[in-house]
Structure 1
Amino acid sequence: MSTASRSVPSLSRKVPFSLQILLGLLLGVGLGYLARANDISWLGTTLDTVGSLFIQLLKLAVPPLVFTAIVVSVVSLRGVTNAARLAGKTLLWFAITALVSVGVGIGLGLITNPGRGVTLDIAGATAPKKTGTWTDFLTGIVPTNPVGAFVDGNVLQIVFLAVVIGFAALLVGKAAEPFVDLNRALLEIVQKALWWVIRLAPLGTLGLIGHAVEAYGWDLLAPLATFTTAVYVGCAIVLFIVYPVVLIAAGRLNPLRFFAGAWPAIQLAFVSRSSVGTMPVTQRSVERLGVPREYASFAVPFGATTKMDGCAAIYPALAAIFVAQVFGVALRPVDYLLIAFVSVVGSAATAGLTGAIVMLTLTLSTLGLPLAGAGLLLAIDPIVDMIRTATNVAGQALVPTVVAAREGILDRTAYDSAGRRGLDEESASVVEPTRPDSPAPVPA
C-alpha cells in the first residue's frame, strides 16, 4: 500500500469525528445562505442531493438492520439473568420518562402559547399525505404480506415480525440455531456497511443543513419562532435537566460521564435525524458505558423503534397546543390527558424514521383537531427534527443505563472511564468499533 493511500484514513482519524460534523454543519449553513442570497440554483440542488442521498443510504439499511437486530436481541435474552424482569423495567422507564417529557411539552405550551397571534394561511393548509389514526395504527402493526413490510419499509410491521420470529426461535431452541446464526451474520454485515454510511455523516450534515437554509431561509421562522424555540427549549430541558435528575436519583450515576459516553450517538442523531440509522452507534455507546451487551442488544433496538421522547412526547404536545390556538379551539383538561396517553402508547408509530408527522396526526385526530394543522408545520419540520431525534437517542441510551445500574449489572468502572476518555476519543472509537468474537458475560 502506498503512502498516499494510507494518508487519507490517517488524516480522517486525526480530525475528531465530532469536529468533522461541526465543520460540515458550519460549511452547510454558509453554502446554504450563499445559494439563497445569490439565487444559485445549482448549489441548492447539489446540497439537496447530497443530503437526500445520505438519508436514503440510512433508510436502505433500516429494514434488514431492524429485523436482524431484534431477532438476535430477543434470542439473546436467554443468556440474560432475569430477562423478563429487565424487559419489564425497561418498558416501565420508557413510560416514566415519556410521561415526564410530555409534561414538559404541555407545560411549555401553556406558558409560551406558541400559536397565539400567529398569522398563517389557514385556508391553504392541507393535511399531510401520511396521517395516523388509532385504527390505522392498530391494524397496521400486523402485515398482510411479510415481504410487503420490507418492500414498503414499514418499520412497525418489521418490528412485529421480528419480535414474533425471535420469540419463536427462542422457544424452538437448538433447532433454530442455524437461523439465529444467519441473522447474527447478516446483522454484522449490515452494521459494517452502515458504519461506512456513518463515516459520511459530515457530508450528509453539510447537505441537509445547507438545503434547509437554502430552501427555507430565516424568514420562515418568523411566524413560527415561538413554536420552534419552545421545541428546542423543551428538548433541552429534558436532555440537560430531566435526564441528569433521573441518572442521579434513579441510578446514582454521574450525568457528565453519561453524556461523555453517549455524545457520539446524540451528535449523529442530531444531524442524521434517524434513530434507527443511529442505532449501531447508540448500542456501542451504551456498551462502552458499562451496560452488558446481551441486555444492550435488546434494549437499544427496541428503544430505537419505540422510545421517542422528542418526536412522540415533547413535539406533539407543543404542536397540538399550537394547532388548537391557530384554529381557535379551546383544549380541555381531558385533552391534555389524551396527549399524554397518546405519547406513551402511540410512540411506536414514529418507527424511528425521520420526521414525526404520523405521530402528530395521530395526536391531532385523537383530540379532534384539524389534520390540516400539521401541514402548517411541515416546512420547519427538518429544523425541529434535529433536536427531537437527538432527544430520542439520548433517552434510548439513558434507560438501559439506568436499568442496568438499578439491577446491579452495570460495569461502573467502564461507566466512569467512558467519561474520563473524553468526547473526541470516544467519538473516534465509536465510529469504527472493534467487537470481540464472543460476548461478555452478564453478571448475575
Structure 2
Amino acid sequence: MATSSSTTTPPNPNAGPRRKRDRTHYLYIAVIAAVAAGITLGFAAPDAAVELKPLGEGFVNLIKMMISPIIFCTIVLGIGSVRKAAKVGTVGGMALGYFLAMSTVALAIGLLVGNVLDPGSGLHLTEETRGVGAEQAAEASESTTEFLLGIVPTTLVSAFTEGEVLQTLLVALLVGFALQAMGGAGEPVLRGVGHIQRLVFRVLGMIMWAAPVGAFGAIAAVVGETGMDALRSLAVIMIGFYITCVLFVFVILGTLLRVVAGVNILSLFRYLGREFLLILSTSSSESALPRLIGKMEHLGVSKPVVGITVPTGYSFNLDGTAIYLTMASLFIAEAMGDPLSIGEQLALLGFMIIASKGAAGVTGSGLAILSSGLQSHRPELLDGVGLIVGIDRFMSEARALTNFAGNSVATLVIGTWTREVDRERMDEVLSGRLPFDETTLAGDGHGHEHEPAPEARPAGHAVERAPAPTA
C-alpha cells in the first residue's frame, strides 16, 4: 500500500496546476479573438473604434500599477537572501556591460539597414505634419542632470506611488543590502516580503483576466486612428524596421543564446509565447514585465540574477528602441532632403541612446525620445517627425517585442555567465515537463535558489522548493 500511495502521490500535485493552467488557455484564446475583433471594428467603424481607446489604456494602467511592488519584492528577496554582496555587484556589472554592448550592436544594425534602404525618399512634408515633433519633444525634454536626480525618490514610499521603475529599483537595492547586512535578524522581514510577493502576483493573476477587453480596445483604436493610407505610404520604413528587428533577434540574440547558454531561441520564445501575445495586443512591454520575472525564476534562473537583470534591462536594454531611433532619424532626414552625415548619425544616435534610458515599455515613448534628440542636435528636422506619426503605433509593437526578447535573452545569458542557472530545471521547463503555474505567476516553486544552505533561508522557501529538483 505504501508503494502504491507513493506512486500515485506525485501526479496529484501536478494534476492541480494543470487543471488551473488549462483554464487560462481560454483566456489567451479570448485575447486572440479580441485582437481579430478589434482589427475588424477598426476598419468597419473607425470612429467608434477610436472611442474604445480607454479600454486599452485602462488595462495597461492596471498592469503598471503592479510593477513597482513586484520589482521591489523580487529585488529585496533576491539580494536579501544572498550572503555575499560581491555576488550582487558582479551580476549588476555584467548586466550593465552586456546592455551597453547590445545597444551598440542594435545601433550599428539600424544604421546599416537604414543607409541601405534609403527610406524617406519621395515623401513630402505637409502643413498638417508640422509641429508634431515640437509637441513630442516638449514632453521628453530632460537633461542628463535631471535624469540622474530623477532616480532619487522624494520619499522612501513615493517611488511606489509615482510608478518610476528606476526609483523603485534604487529603493529595493538599498532595502535588499540593508537586510543582507542584518543577517539572521532580517529573515522575518524577508518572510514578510515573500508573502507580499505572493499576494501581489495573485492580484496580477486576477487582472490578467481583463486582457481580452484591453486588447480589443487597444487594437481597435490603433486601426481606427491609422487606417490603411499611412501604411501604404510608409510601407518601406515599417517593413524595413520589422525585418531589422527580426534579424537582430534571431541572428544576433539567437546566436548569442545558443553559444553562451546552449538554448534554442525558438524554445525560449515558445515558453514565453503568452507574454509576446500580451505585448502584441497592448503595444507595451511593461505589460509582460511581471510575468517575465516569474517565468525566468520558474525557468531556473536564480532570484538575484532575475531581480537585478530584468528590472534594470527594462530601463537600460532597449534594443528595439535603439533600432527604431536610428532608422527613424535617417528616414526623416531623407524625407526632408537633408541627409545625415556619418558623423552626425553617430553623434545624434549616441545622444538618443542615453536619453532613452528609463523610458522602456511606455507606449509612444520612442516618438518622444526621437523628437527630443532631433530638437537637441538637428532642430531643422523636428518638423519631419509628423511623417512617422501614422505608423508609430505599429512600430511601437515591434519595439516592445524586440525589447522584451532582448531582456529575456539577457537574463539567461547573464545567469549562465554567473553560473546562476539550474540547467536540469531549465531543460525540464523548456521541454514542457514542468509547466508554469498560471494561477500564482510567481512564488511557490517558481524561484530556484542557488545558495548552499537552504536551512538558513525562510522556512517557506525551503519547504516549497524542495520537490523542484526531483520533479
Same fold (TM over 0.5): yes
Structure 2 CA distance for partners of 1:441 and 1:155, relative to 1, 3 Å: closer
Residue ranges of structure 1 left out of the alignment (5+ in a row): 1-8
Matched, 1:265 2:275: yes
- Residue 314 of structure 1 deviates from its aligned partner by 1.0
- Output the CA distance in 2 between the equivalents of 1:217 and 1:195: 34
Tell me what 2:251 maps to: 241
Q: After the TM superposition, which residues 18-417 of structure 1 pair with which residues of structure 2 at under 5 Å, given as runs? A: 18-36=28-46, 41=48, 44-45=50-51, 47-78=52-83, 82-121=87-126, 122-125=129-132, 126-128=134-136, 129-135=138-144, 136-144=146-154, 149-173=159-183, 180-311=190-321, 313-339=322-348, 341-342=350-351, 345-356=354-365, 357-369=367-379, 370-417=381-428
Q: Tell me which structure has the larger Cα radius of gyration.
A: 2
The residue type equivalent to 2:450 in the other structure is V
- Output the CA distance in 2 between the equivalents of 1:281 and 1:79: 27
The residue type equivalent to 2:261 in the other structure is G
The residue type equivalent to 2:198 in the other structure is E
- Output the CA distance in 2 between the equivalents of 1:173 and 1:260: 40
**3-state SS, counterpart of residue 82 of structure 1:** helix
The residue type equivalent to 2:55 in the other structure is V
**3-state SS, counterpart of residue 276 of structure 2:** helix
Tell me what 1:6 maps to: none
- Output the CA distance in 1 between the equivalents of 2:347 and 2:451: 41
Deviations 1:260-311 (A, max 9, x none): 2232323322223333331221122223333123322332222233322112
Tell me what 1:433 maps to: 441
CA RMSD of aligned residues (A): 3.2
Deviations 1:25-71 (A, max 9, x none): 112111222212xx5x3x542x3232222122123223433444444
- Residue 77 of structure 1 deviates from its aligned partner by 4.4
Tell me what 1:4 maps to: none
Identity %: 27
Preserved contact between residue 127 and residue 373 of structure 1 (Cα < 8 Å): no
Structure 2 CA distance for partners of 1:222 and 1:421, relative to 1, 3 Å: same
- Residue 111 of structure 1 deviates from its aligned partner by 1.6
Preserved contact between residue 261 and residue 289 of structure 1 (Cα < 8 Å): no
- Output the CA distance in 1 between the equivalents of 2:375 and 2:186: 43
Preserved contact between residue 29 and residue 210 of structure 1 (Cα < 8 Å): yes
Deviations 1:202-233 (A, max 9, x none): 22211111111112211122332222222222
Preserved contact between residue 21 and residue 438 of structure 2 (Cα < 8 Å): no
Preserved contact between residue 303 and residue 447 of structure 2 (Cα < 8 Å): yes
TM superposition score normalised by structure 1 = 0.83
- Residue 251 of structure 1 deviates from its aligned partner by 2.5
Deviations 1:51-101 (A, max 9, x none): 222122123223433444444444344478833222222222222222222
Preserved contact between residue 131 and residue 386 of structure 2 (Cα < 8 Å): no
Structure 2 CA distance for partners of 1:177 and 1:400, relative to 1, 3 Å: same
- Output the CA distance in 1 between the equivalents of 2:376 and 2:81: 37
Structure 2 CA distance for partners of 1:420 and 1:363, relative to 1, 3 Å: same
- Output the CA distance in 2 between the equivalents of 1:100 and 1:298: 22
Preserved contact between residue 300 and residue 400 of structure 1 (Cα < 8 Å): yes
The residue type equivalent to 1:336 in the other structure is Q
- Output the CA distance in 2 between the equivalents of 1:318 and 1:438: 39
TM superposition score normalised by structure 2 = 0.79
- Residue 124 of structure 1 deviates from its aligned partner by 4.5
The residue type equivalent to 2:100 in the other structure is A
- Residue 380 of structure 1 deviates from its aligned partner by 2.8
- Output the CA distance in 2 between the equivalents of 1:299 and 1:327: 40
Structure 2 CA distance for partners of 1:277 and 1:71, relative to 1, 3 Å: farther
Structure 2 CA distance for partners of 1:172 and 1:114, relative to 1, 3 Å: farther
Preserved contact between residue 264 and residue 430 of structure 1 (Cα < 8 Å): no
Preserved contact between residue 71 and residue 169 of structure 2 (Cα < 8 Å): yes
| Number of residue-to-residue matches in the alignment | 427
